[in-house]
């Protein structure tokens, strides 16, 4: 079982990452990084509202035969 402190730190990390990614200086490769961050969540890839759009886009892209996104940052 995950301790409340670890869970709180993880939530803070996800929210901070989402905030940083949504800055006005967004780059083309941000989507791949968002997907990897969301998929690494032990609570599920769509546990947080910020992860729903990137993960849904991932499923749509993979269903169309497109490659898995990459994260270079």
CA dihedral over 54, 27, 24, 6, signed as positive or negative: positive
- Give the pair of three-digit tokens for residue 55: 């993960």
| CA-closest candidate to residue 69, choices 40, 28, 16, 22 | 28
pTM value is 0.59
Q: What is the mean pLDDT of each run of 10 residues along the chain (73 residues)?
A: 64 58 55 94 94 96 96 81
């Amino acid at each position: 079982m995950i301790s409340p402190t670890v869970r709180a730190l993880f939530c803070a990390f996800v929210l901070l990452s989402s905030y940083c990614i949504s800055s006005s200086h967004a780059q083309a490769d941000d989507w791949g990084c968002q997907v990897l961050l969301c998929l690494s969540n032990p609570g599920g890839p769509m546990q947080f509202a910020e992860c729903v759009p990137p993960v849904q886009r991932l499923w749509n892209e993979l269903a169309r035969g497109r490659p898995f996104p990459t994260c270079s940052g």
